[in-house]
Amino acid sequence: MNEAATYRPLVGRLAVITGAAGAIGRATARKLATRGATIVGVDHPSADASALEALFESGEALTLLRADVTNESDVKAYVEAALQVTGRIDVFFNNAGIEGAQAPISEYPTEDFVKVFNVNVLGVFLGLKYVLPVMQEQKAGSIINTSSIAGLIGAENMSGYIMSKHAVLGLTRTASLEAAPHGVRVNSVHPGFIDSRMLTDIVHNLGAPDAESLAPSVPMGRLGSVDDIANAVAFLASDDSSYMSGHSLVVDGGKTAG
Ligand SMILES: NC(=O)c1ccc[n+]([C@@H]2O[C@H](COP(=O)([O-])OP(=O)(O)OC[C@H]3O[C@@H](n4cnc5c(N)ncnc54)[C@H](O)[C@@H]3O)[C@@H](O)[C@H]2O)c1
């Protein structure tokens, strides 16, 4: 019997995923569904969700909601709509994010810095603000915020993104302290170089030929896959990580070990 048939720790759980139409979001939606969860995917009204929907063709439960995570009334509405599905939110993958501009600080467009803040920090904060009370009332739940190795180290030309992902780490630690007495866990996942549209665009903007050119700089010698991240999120979502909160789970092939 394959893993899908035998290992289903998320049966009966409702998982909300923001940025669900994106590369990491949809891989994680698929992974959590395979492990038994019912999925509520959230993405921006302008996002193309066809690849996500194609992963759920076989009639499994996916509810797709449209919301701008920077808009407080949209966030309130997606949380309320998600609650309509099973009356609970067991897992929240707070994942929507943008890469912003790549330029030295002296040339970094201020409006891009604000935009990155709004999506990657305010969007994550608002998600926490409206999901935490639901989970605290349930006395159970697991939240996973998407940070990055950019939340642990600096990088030239990436000030907006680096700022935002460090902020996600701070929000995770603070939320974990506030939520722990209520039986709710909050952790962050820190992807390294993941083979994806986002990494390819960043690398091109910085003048490198392609994302693969970064592989030799990774101790394990390869880029990560979206499934590497989905597996880590699935672990944090499940009771297999039941004594973990405020943890930063780094998934980077050893990139930040040195
Ligand atoms: N790809 C990587 O190498 C990498 C590495 C580290 C961290 N991350 C982080 O992982 C997360 C997912 O990245 P990805 O690679 O899947 O990128 P992606 O661009 O494929 O997906 C991001 C999703 O977020 C959505 N989104 C953006 N702004 C939004 C808004 N205002 N409201 C609602 N949805 C919005 C987009 O529509 C998109 O579907 C991001 O937080 C990103 O910063 C990615």
Best residue among 66, 196, 212 to mutate for probing ligand 1, ranked by most atoms within 8 Å of CB:
196
pLDDT tens column, 52-111: 999 998 767 899 999 999 999 999 999 999 999 999 999 999 999 999 999 999 999 999
Among 78, 108, 130, 161, the active-site one is 161
Report yes or no on 151 lying in a domain. Answer: yes
Rounded Cα–Cα distance for residues 31 and 176 (Å)? 24
161 is catalytic: yes
Give the count of domains, the chain: 1
Using the predicted structure, report yes or no on whether residue 5 has a pLDDT greater than 80: no
Report yes or no on 202 lying in a domain. Answer: no
Q: Ligand 1 within 6 A of 148 CB?
A: yes
pLDDT value at residue 256: 98
Of 100, 130, 131, give the one whose Cα is nearest residue 118.
100
What share of the chain in percent tops pLDDT 70?
98
Using the predicted structure, report yes or no on whether residue 48 has a pLDDT greater than 70: yes
pLDDT tens column, 192-222: 999 999 999 999 999 999 999 999 999 999 9
* Beta carbons of 212 and 223 less than 8 angstroms apart: yes
* Beta carbons of 188 and 94 less than 8 angstroms apart: no
Report yes or no on 139 lying in a domain. Answer: yes
Instruction: Tell me the residue type at 40.
Output: V
Best residue among 52, 55, 74, 98 to mutate for probing ligand 1, ranked by most atoms within 8 Å of CB:
98
Using the predicted structure, report yes or no on whether residue 180 has a pLDDT greater than 60: yes
Q: Ligand 1 within 6 A of 98 CB?
A: yes
Q: What is the mean pLDDT of the chain?
A: 97
- Mean pLDDT, residues 139-158 taken together: 98
Using the predicted structure, report yes or no on whether residue 2 has a pLDDT greater than 70: no
Report yes or no on 21 lying in a domain. Answer: yes
pLDDT value at residue 61: 86
Q: Ligand 1 within 6 A of 70 CB?
A: yes
Bridge partners of residue 92, in order along the sequence? 16, 143
Does this model's pTM top 0.95? Answer: yes
Domain encompassing residue 50: 3-196+226-246
How does DSSP classify residue 117? I
Report yes or no on 252 lying in a domain. Answer: no
Ligand 1 midpoint to CA 24 (Å):
7
What share of the chain in percent tops pLDDT 90?
95
pLDDT tens column, 218-245: 999 999 999 999 999 999 999 999 999 9
Report yes or no on 251 lying in a domain. Answer: no
For residue 62, give both structure tokens: 């996916």
Q: Where are the beta strands (DSSP E) in the chain?
A: 14-18, 38-43, 62-66, 91-94, 141-146, 184-191, 248-251
Q: Ligand 1 within 6 A of 116 CB?
A: no
Residue nearest to atom 19 of ligand 1 (CA): 22
Instruction: Tell me the residue type at 209.
Output: P
Ligand 1 midpoint to CA 109 (Å):
20
pLDDT value at residue 3: 59
Report yes or no on 18 lying in a domain. Answer: yes
How does DSSP classify residue 119? I
What is the domain-level CATH number for residue 35? Answer: 3.40.50.720
pLDDT value at residue 58: 76
Q: Ligand 1 within 6 A of 199 CB?
A: yes
- Mean pLDDT, residues 185-192 taken together: 99
- On the CB side of 184, how many CA atoms lie within 13 Å of its CA? 27
Report yes or no on 191 lying in a domain. Answer: yes
pLDDT value at residue 147: 99
